Amino acid sequence: MTTVNLPDAETPELSGTVNLADIEALGRSRLDRNALEYYASGANDEVTLRENREGFRRLRLRPRMLVDVSSVDTRTEVLGLPLAFPVGIAPSAFHGLAHPEAERATARAAASAGSVMTLSTFSNTPIEEVAREVPGRFWFQLYPYKDREVSAELVHRAEAAGARALVLTVDAPFVGRREPNERHRFALPPHLKVPNVGSRERLAEFESESGSQLVNYFQGLISKTFTWADLGWLRSVTSLPIVLKGILTAEDALLAAQHGAHVWVSNHGGRQLDTAVSSIEALPEVAEAVAGQVEVYLDGGVTRGTDVLKAVALGARAVFLGRAALWGLAAGGEAGVRRTLDLLRDEVRLALALCGKQNIGQVGRELVRL
């Protein structure tokens, strides 16, 4: 069980943080081993997990000089939803491991910062409760279930609650092997529920003498046969824009566009196929393949405002934070997530100015040396 007992207001420790690394350190210190290993772990040797960050560090910016940057505008939009800057919150399971307010706190922080949260199917909070906190300012993430009636019901609930988009995760027909979770048998604490996917009793059915409870549960739940041909069925049950999360190649990006779906470049935070390309490495070919037909997003390894600009320059409409938001939530609840977003927005604004750009629309591929 997590050790967090902070109110959702800035503490001296939180207000003393100056970057996302500080918030990560604080957040990590407030989690027990079960929660920390679940959030932090990557697949196998964690090569891709590390490369998500290293890929950004290898890219170099090409700033322009003698530009009037007395007024810098960080605003953009995703699927018609205005954002204060090109950063949202990626779907991640079990925010209740980090803070008692769980996804409600994350969603409120995102909305108050002019951002958007993507709610995970595996949240500890019902869709409808999150929707009441942030009406019209959330997306909903879905896994393709074996039971299509379950999938359809979730989609209908999300749409009725006011979700602005449906994010289908396509890179997880099986769960990647996250060895710390296997070694120490990750399990959800008894006080936490999974209200969007079944009862607590249903989850308990997947307890075993070895391995991660989540893996055991997930393997029996998710479809292994869902293909491109099935996207037509998904379109038939919703009018929401569909985003495919987990795309890493030009070939799949083009197929997504041909099926009328937007593209989310992601390797699941390095938690699925180890030694897969990093998200930022995959982004240029994805963006080139879709050629503006659909919107492109990215998650994985974003910790600095310069990372955001690099992703935008290479074709992303916006980036989404996974672990960074969770570290903020663990560090200080809603205030911790808001602090994370505020620090990153300040860094984006400064990086824009120092690159000689007056607004996000001026950021193009010429800004980055590949």
pLDDT in tens, 7-56: 467 899 999 999 999 999 999 999 999 999 999 999 999 999 999 999 99
At position 235, the amino acid (one-letter code) is R
Q: Provide the 3-class DSSP secondary structure of residue 14.
A: helix
- What is the model's pLDDT at position 214? 67
The residue annotated as part of the active site, out of 95, 99, 262, 268, is 268
77 neighbors 362 (Cβ within 8 angstroms): no
- Output the tens digit of pLDDT for each of the chain's 370 residues: 344 434 467 899 999 999 999 999 999 999 999 999 999 999 999 999 999 999 999 999 999 999 999 999 999 999 999 999 999 999 999 999 999 999 999 999 999 999 999 999 999 999 999 999 999 999 999 999 999 999 999 999 999 999 999 999 999 999 999 999 999 989 899 999 999 976 444 544 444 455 666 677 777 889 999 999 999 999 999 999 999 999 999 999 999 999 999 999 999 999 999 999 999 999 999 999 999 999 999 999 999 999 999 999 999 999 999 999 999 999 999 999 999 999 999 999 999 999 999 999 999 999 999 8
| Helices 323-354 & 33-40 angle (0-180, nearest 10) | 50
The candidate with the shortest Cα–Cα distance to 330, out of 106, 72, 81, is 106
Residue 295 vs residues 53, 78, 246, 256, 264: alpha-carbon distances, Å: 23, 8, 14, 11, 8
Class of domain 12-363: alpha beta
| Helices 305-313 & 47-58 angle (0-180, nearest 10) | 80
The candidate with the shortest Cα–Cα distance to 108, out of 117, 100, 95, is 117
Query: In residues, how long is the chain?
Result: 370
**C-beta atoms surrounding 36 within 10 Å:** 19
- What is the model's pLDDT at position 62? 98
Based on the number of CB atoms within 10 Å of its own CB, is 163 exposed (0-12), middle (13-18) or buried (19 or more)?
Answer: buried
- What is the model's pLDDT at position 213? 67
CA–CA separation, 152 vs 138, rounded Å?
18
- Pick out the residues of the known binding site for FMN: 91-93, 120, 141, 169, 245, 266, 322-323
Which are the contacts of 280, defined by CB distance < 8 A and separation ≥ 6? 52, 55, 56, 59, 298, 300, 301, 307, 310, 311, 314
- Pick out the residues of the known binding site for glyoxylate: 38, 143, 178, 268, 271
Cα angle value 205/207/212 (rounded, 5°): 130
Residue-wise burial string across 218-232, b where 16 or more C-beta atoms lie within 10 A, e elsewhere? beebbeeebeeeebe
Query: Model pTM greater than 0.75?
Result: yes
Based on the number of CB atoms within 10 Å of its own CB, is 314 exposed (0-12), middle (13-18) or buried (19 or more)?
Answer: buried
Residue 71 vs residues 66, 309, 359, 369: alpha-carbon distances, Å: 14, 17, 9, 26
> Any catalytic annotation for residue 268?
yes
Q: Provide the 3-class DSSP secondary structure of residue 28.
A: helix
- Pick out the residues of the known binding site: 38, 91-93, 120, 141, 143, 169, 178, 245, 266, 268, 271, 322-323
**C-beta atoms surrounding 267 within 10 Å:** 30
Element (DSSP H or E) covering residue 36: helix 33-40
61 neighbors 364 (Cβ within 8 angstroms): no
